[in-house]
Amino acid sequence: MSKFLWGGAVSSSQYEGGYPRIRTSLDTQDCRAYIPRTSNATTSTRLLTIDRVLSAKDDAEHQKYPFRTGSKGIEFVKEDVELLKELGINIFRFSISWTFLLPDNKNINPKAVEYYDYLINELKGSGIKIFLMLNHYAVPLDLVLNIGGWKNRKMIDHYLYFVRKVFELWGEKIDFFVPINEINAGYFSPYNGVGLIKEIDKDYNQSDIFKSLHHQFVASAKTIELAKNMGLNAKSGSMIACFCYYPYSCKPIENLKLTLDENLHQWFCMDVLSRGYYPSYIKVYFKKNNIDFEITDEDINVLKNNTCDFVSFSYYQSGVISEQEEEKTAGNLVITTKNPYLVATEWGWQIDPIGLRTTLNRIYDRYQKPVIICENGLGYQDKLNSDNTINDQYRIDYLNQHFEQIKLAQEDGVDVISYIMWGVIDIVSAGSCEMTKRYGVIYVDADNNGNGSYKRYKKDSFKWYKDFIKKENEKE
Stretch that binds ligand BG6, among 15-23, 300-308, 357-365, 426-434 (CB under 6 A): 426-434
Please state the closest distance from residue 205 (CB atom) to ligand BG6, in A.
23
Please state the closest distance from residue 461 (CB atom) to ligand BG6, in A.
17
Site for ligand BG6 in 143-182 (CB under 6 A): 181-182
C-alpha dist (Å) from residue 237 to 232, 273, 311, 316: 14, 9, 5, 20
| Site size for ligand BG6 (CB under 6 A) | 16
For residue 90, how far is the Cα from the chain centroid? Answer: 19
Q: Centre a 10 Å sphere on the Cβ of residue 458 and count the other Cβ atoms it contains.
A: 18
Q: Name which position in 431, 441, 448, 450 contacts ligand BG6 (CB under 6 A).
A: 431
Residues 316 and 349: their CA atoms lie apart, in Å, by: 7
Stretch that binds ligand BG6, among 81-89, 117-125, 153-161, 425-433 (CB under 6 A): 425-433
> Which of residues 66 and 88 has its CB atom nearest to ligand BG6 in the complex?
66
Annotation marks residue 474 as catalytic: no
Contacts of 456 (CB under 8 A, 6+ apart): 76, 79, 80, 83, 425, 442, 443, 444, 445
Q: Does 375 bind ligand BG6 (CB under 6 A)?
A: yes
Residues 120 and 129: their CA atoms lie apart, in Å, by: 9
Site for ligand BG6 in 329-348 (CB under 6 A): 332-333
Cβ–Cβ under 8 Å, residues 268 and 184: yes
Q: Does 402 bind ligand BG6 (CB under 6 A)?
A: no
Q: Name which position in 422, 443, 457, 464 contacts ligand BG6 (CB under 6 A).
A: 422
Residues 115 and 32: their CA atoms lie apart, in Å, by: 24
Annotation marks residue 182 as catalytic: yes
Binding string, 226-255, against ligand BG6, x = CB under 6 A? ---------------x--------------
- In terms of DSSP bridges, do strands 416-422 and 456-458 run parallel, antiparallel, or are they unpaired? unpaired
From the list 122, 262, 375, 434, the catalytic residue is 375
Name the residue whose CB lies closest to ligand BG6: 431
From the list 16, 182, 262, 434, the catalytic residue is 182
Q: Does 71 bind ligand BG6 (CB under 6 A)?
A: no
> Which of residues 248 and 465 has its CB atom nearest to ligand BG6 in the complex?
465
Q: Does 379 bind ligand BG6 (CB under 6 A)?
A: yes
Q: Does 188 bind ligand BG6 (CB under 6 A)?
A: no
Q: Name which position in 314, 337, 339, 350 contacts ligand BG6 (CB under 6 A).
A: 314
39-77 per-residue burial string, b: 16 or more CB within 10 A, e: under 16: ebbbeebbbbeeebbeebeeeeebebbbbbbbbbbbbbb
Rg of the chain over CA atoms, in angstroms?
21
C-alpha dist (Å) from residue 301 to 141, 183, 226, 431: 31, 20, 15, 35
Cβ–Cβ under 8 Å, residues 443 and 381: no
Half-sphere exposure of 253 (CA within 13 A, CB side): 3
Site for ligand BG6 in 2-61 (CB under 6 A): 11, 14
Catalytic sites, residue numbers: 182, 375
Task: Give the footprint of ligand BG6 on this chain (CB under 6 A).
Answer: 11, 14, 181-182, 241, 314, 332-333, 375, 379, 422, 429-432, 437
